[in-house]
Amino acid sequence: MAASFFFRPFNSAAALSDFSGRHEMKDEGSGDAGRDGNRGPPAPIRQNAEGEYRNTDGHHRVTALRKVTALTGEDRVTGVTTTDGRTFPADLVVVGVGIIPNSELAQEAGIACDRGIVVDDCSRTSDPAVVAAGDCTARRMPDGALLRLESVQNAIEQGKSAAAALLDRARPFVAAPWFWSDQYDVRLQMAGLSAGHDRIVVRGAPETRKFSVFYFRDDQLIAVDSINRAPDHIAARKLLDAGRSPSFAQAGDEAFGLAGLLK
Ligand SMILES: Cc1cc2nc3c(=O)[nH]c(=O)nc-3n(C[C@H](O)[C@H](O)[C@H](O)COP(=O)(O)OP(=O)(O)OC[C@H]3O[C@@H](n4cnc5c(N)ncnc54)[C@H](O)[C@@H]3O)c2cc1C
């Protein structure tokens, strides 16, 4: 079970311990639920989740932290202590604890569940009369693994597949997963699944807060995380959907047009 702490330091705004909407089950039945956020994003992404942010209300300080070990205070909270021994003053703490799919109804109906309602790529459950879509599902992938994704795209695309399945039409959801999150003036966009990557290359300069991290496995592009670089994200989704991959050098070379690979 994962926990994210959002706390408001005195005279400031907010801090967060984690950001990512990806939840992947790597080993079916092992209980070993991997999560990109557990391993933590690569340094350029993590560092860009920290720092001074500006929005219409003024300045906000956002700090990406590892783990919270204790809350301090008597009648009410006064601070949050982290694994590095630091204590941050806080007068409000919001704790988000894990995600448990509400699959009781499906379980009671005898539908196969495994940390979510098990569905195929057409959102069909083990009961031919029942479909399921969204956060409550665990999708069976071609390699047999179960994949849980918690994102708006996943819910919408699985919903479309489910509606088609009810009409006896197969509309598989096979597009690369994508996710976005706006953190004040930082737009984080993720395409594909980076778990299992063996190399990364950065496109653009992290200090400009406009860059992307390209993840490769066996020289094949598997995911791209973009900070304030929507064109990279759009190209990445198209490349991943088309099964095309830039070389490692091309991905890191801003002069190389990724869209050219799609012609
Ligand atoms: C704080 C937060 C931030 C997020 N940010 C992003 C983001 O930036 N980008 C992104 O892509 N995704 C984001 N997500 C994830 C995204 O919101 C979810 O993946 C998406 O809403 C899932 O849609 P859903 O329809 O599957 O589930 P939900 O939106 O959770 O809807 C399920 C509904 O079913 C109802 N329900 C549950 N059990 C029953 C029952 N037994 N009977 C009847 N009704 C029931 C619930 O009350 C709920 O209304 C975020 C989620 C959270 C919590």
Mutation probe of ligand 1 site: the residue of 94, 99, 113, 135 with most atoms within 8 A of C-beta: 135
Instruction: Provide φ and ψ at 101, rounded to 5°.
Output: -65, 135
Superfamily grouping for domain 178-262: FAD/NAD-linked reductase, C-terminal dimerisation domain (3.30.390.30)
Q: Please compute the mean of the pLDDT values over residues 30-59 and round it to a whole number.
A: 50
Residue 29: beta bridge partners?
none
- Tell whether ligand 1 has an atom less than 6 A from the beta carbon of residue 178: no
Full-model pTM: 0.76
The two three-digit tokens of residue 187, written as one number: 């737009």
Instruction: Write the residue with the smallest CA distance to atom 19 of ligand 1.
Output: 151
Ligand 1 center from residue 183 Cα (angstroms): 19
Ligand 1 center from residue 199 Cα (angstroms): 33
- Domain 104-166 class in CATH: alpha beta
Ligand 1 center from residue 147 Cα (angstroms): 17
Instruction: Write the residue with the smallest CA distance to atom 8 of ligand 1.
Output: 181
Residue 68 is predicted with a pLDDT of: 84
Which residues have C-beta within 8 Å of that of residue 124, sequence separation ≥ 6?
131, 165
Residue 155 is predicted with a pLDDT of: 95
Q: What digits encode the pLDDT tens for the residues 182-233? A: 877 788 899 999 988 999 999 999 888 899 999 999 999 999 999 999 999 9
pLDDT at residue 36 is higher than 60:
no
Instruction: Write the residue with the smallest CA distance to atom 2 of ligand 1.
Output: 21
| Domain range summary for the chain, segments of one domain joined by + | 4-95, 104-166, 178-262
Measured from the CA of 136, which atom of ligand 1 is nearest? 26
CA 183 to CA 63: how far, in whole Å?
A: 11
Which helix (H) or strand (E) element contains residue 95?
strand 92-97
CA 218 to CA 214: how far, in whole Å?
A: 13
Residue 61 is predicted with a pLDDT of: 59
CATH 3.50.50 fits 4-95, yes or no: yes
Residue 65 is predicted with a pLDDT of: 62
Cβ pair 184, 55 in contact under 8 A: yes
CA 123 to CA 156: how far, in whole Å?
A: 11
Query: Of the spans 5-9, 94-98, 112-116, 145-149, which averages the highest pLDDT?
Result: 112-116
Ligand 1 center from residue 187 Cα (angstroms): 21
Domain 4-95 and domain 104-166 have a common topology: yes
Instruction: Write the residue with the smallest CA distance to atom 42 of ligand 1.
Output: 105
Residues belonging to the chain: 263
Residue 217 is predicted with a pLDDT of: 95
CA 109 to CA 97: how far, in whole Å?
A: 27
pLDDT at residue 37 is higher than 60:
no
Measured from the CA of 135, which atom of ligand 1 is nearest? 26
Mean pLDDT taken over the chain: 81
